Structure 1
Amino acid sequence: MGAFYEYYRAADHAAATSRPEHSREIADTSRGVPEFDVVATKWIDPEVALGQLVAFAGRVDYSLGLVETVELYPPPEGAPRSDEGWHALPEDSPYLAGPAIAALPAQARDMLAGVDDARLPMLAEQWATIEEFSHFTADEDEFMLSLTKELVGLARRAKEHDQLLYCWMCL
């Protein structure tokens, strides 16, 4: 099945974690599933792949802690504290099966939001060269530009509304 990462903006942590079992991409207001401004990706994790885009955007060196997320769901304070506790969890526990929600730092949002439109094509080309995308072909250049524009646009809207970026993950 693979990993799915959905980046979205929300007013606060409570709004971001509303109905955590549901994809952020699919809204069902009749069932209480809120609608989010979201960019869905399949394989762009926040700390490595997105972290490198943030580094390129901010013109800083990439390091693993650059996009240090804060885990919100499942709540860290409810996680088992011992091996026995982990082994006692039911198979469908969100601590084992997901999904998970994390907040991205405001610095990451601001670095993406601050990219000048004229730099977007060069930024997408640079991002496409990272090791995690080595299986891509030249045919996917347009996709990378589109994705870069979507993520930068999401960051700009989040900053404009004084919101943070969040990542809903299903691994």
Structure 2
Amino acid sequence: MGVFYEYYRAADRAAATVQPEHSREIADASRGVPEFDVVVTKWIDPIVVLGQLVAFAGQVDYSLELVETVELYPPPEGAPRSDEEWDALPEDSPYLEGPGIMELSAEARDMLASVDDARLPMLAEQWAAIKEFSHFTADEDGYMVSLTKDLVGLASRAREHDHLLYCWMSL
């Protein structure tokens, strides 16, 4: 089935982690889930796959440390510290099954936000050629250009509003 990643912007960590167990894609006022500016992806993890897009956008070398993240949910300070604590977790614990929320660095946001529209097709082409996408067929429907444009646009709006980017992920 795969892992779903939802990239969104929020003013701060408190806003980003409201109702963390719920998807960011669907606002639900009855459950207290606000409407987020979100881009929904599958298999586009923040460190490796998105990290390579950030490297291409910033015209820098890719490394695993390029997109710095901070884990916000489940809260790291409550994470089990021993095998016994891990074994004692209930089956539905977010530490075992998720979802999870990460904050992405302002530097990653700014590298994506710096891309102008003229560079989008070339950037999407570079990104589509990474090893992690090698099992997909040719991008004849323009999905990669659209996804690249959506992620760059989200980063631009985040920077414009002095927000950071966040990633909500779920199995």
Q: TM-score range by the shorter chain?
A: over 0.9
**1:138 counterpart SS class:** coil
1: CA distance, partners of 2:20 / 2:166: 12
2: CA distance, partners of 1:62 / 1:9: 23
Q: Note the alpha carbon deviations across 1:62-118, whole angstroms, 9 max, x for none.
A: 000101210000000000111111111111001001000000000000000001111
1: CA distance, partners of 2:130 / 2:140: 14
2: CA distance, partners of 1:140 / 1:16: 35
**2:7 counterpart SS class:** strand
**1:41 counterpart SS class:** strand
Structure-2 change in CA distance of 1:88 and 1:14 (3 Å): same
- Give the aligned partner of residue 78 of structure 1: 78
Q: Note the alpha carbon deviations across 1:114-168, whole angstroms, 9 max, x for none.
A: 0111110000000000011001222446000000000000000000000000000
**1:127 counterpart SS class:** helix
- Give the aligned partner of residue 152 of structure 2: 152
2: CA distance, partners of 1:148 / 1:128: 10
- Give the aligned partner of residue 165 of structure 2: 165
- Contact 1:115 / 1:152 at 8 angstroms: preserved in 2? yes
**2:55 counterpart SS class:** helix
Structure 2: stretches of 5+ with no match in the other structure? none
2: CA distance, partners of 1:140 / 1:47: 26
Task: Give the CA RMSD over aligned residues.
Answer: 0.9
- Contact 1:128 / 1:141 at 8 angstroms: preserved in 2? no
2: CA distance, partners of 1:140 / 1:38: 24
Aligned residues: percent identity? 83
What is the 5 A alignment of 1:119-158? 119-140=119-140, 142-158=142-158
2: CA distance, partners of 1:51 / 1:39: 16
TM-score, normalising length: structure 1 = 0.98
Shift of 1:30: 2.5
- Give the aligned partner of residue 99 of structure 1: 99
Give the letter for the 1:81 counterpart. R
Moved over 2 A (4+): none
